[in-house]
Structure 1
Amino acid sequence: MREADESIGMAFFDVDETLLTFKSMFRFLAYHFRARGLPPEVYERAAAELRNRAAAGVPRDETNRDYYRHYSGRSVAEVAAHARAWFTTELTGGGALHEPAVEALRRHREAGAITVLVSGSFPPCLAPVRDLLGADLVVCSEPEHRTGHYTGRLIRPMIGAQKGRAAQELLARYGIPPERAAAYGDHASDLPLLRAVGHPVAVGEDPQLGSYVLEVGGSRLPGIPG
């Protein structure tokens, strides 16, 4: 897509396993529980329940809501501080960034495109990613908070069809036609996002995304090694 970079006015990027090499929501939840002094089995039970519900066919937007219940009653400031420390730890360990997608974001940014992170994750996890990569905008899940504490409820999910609608709304707001927009995603749930733009890019080997970009003449990037 290098030749087309200057024609792209807005570029959307999924985050987990697209720009990052892991699922940030799970990794951060484990860190957050450790930082609170909870034993490892608390995270293991929570993660197993989420994964089991997903394996049983529970829609992703429902498991997304289940995830945010684990922050009920926690201070917004506390979670934000944990997230900054968590991401620093991830970067220190190495291998956190998926370089093919990160390089694509950098090219779009340098060519003058508005770069947007689109994720089912939430602001504390995404703020350090945005700051590191220099993305212009973040569109993500929005957990409810009152009096400085999370309630455990989700105001706005950002999964599947919501990603596509968010991209369409942003393109309309900035007056950018879909033909001048690109989108990068790794999972079938990113298909609505890729359908919203004229330059879809499948990251990795998801068969639905692969079939779609082949059908419409989109592009592919290598996925996470292993």
Structure 2
Amino acid sequence: MNSRKLVNFFFKTLFLGGLAGLITSFFVKAEDYRTILNPLDLMELVGLVVFFVGLGLVFSIISQTGFFAYLFLNRLGLGIFKSYWPTVQLLLIAFVLFDLIYFPYKATEGEVSVWWYILMSAAILGYGLVIAKIKAKQTHKRAFVPALFLMIVMTTIEWIPGLTTEGTDYAWLMIITLLACNTYQLLVLHRLSGSGSDQTKHTKKKTNRKK
């Protein structure tokens, strides 16, 4: 991947983060928008839109930092654990999913039903499985576990600031933006670097045409 592609990759992810943050705000902060629209206060509306776009951009940068940390960690894990690295990743995934249920539930001292946290973890796991399957189909089967690790473990680590805020609004804003950015980065990276089954098929087609 050359520098031009890398810069393009960065700004596209940044744009996606800003857009995801804005769209999510329409749902989780709908009351704020209703207050400004009735009656219409144009300056307040522009300020609110700029705020949530800016928030999405910040979450996007957190996502990109975590993504490149994941690339380094994946190489490091392969070097240390070798063939056991997929197993280690699966154990870490299980540990993080358990933490997403146990610690938030314990922090609320039982005020929120544990089933909400189970559903939250199940939703993140389900989404991660879908994206990891797509990644494995586009590249190779060995990519499934690392992709699942990124979508669950790394996303959860990136989400920690959102989990520590009061209320759920900003937690929702952050997790949806992070998932959108991580999904984009994961599914596009191999196309930019020229690896994966799609690229291989494309190369074979060009070779056959030349023949």
TM-score, normalization by structure 1: 0.22
Tell me which of the two structures has the higher relative contact order, counting C-alpha pairs closer than 8 angstroms and 6 or more residues apart. 2
Q: Which protein shows a greater Rg?
A: 2
TM-score, normalization by structure 2: 0.24
Q: Which has the higher strand share?
A: 1
Q: Which has the higher helix share?
A: 2
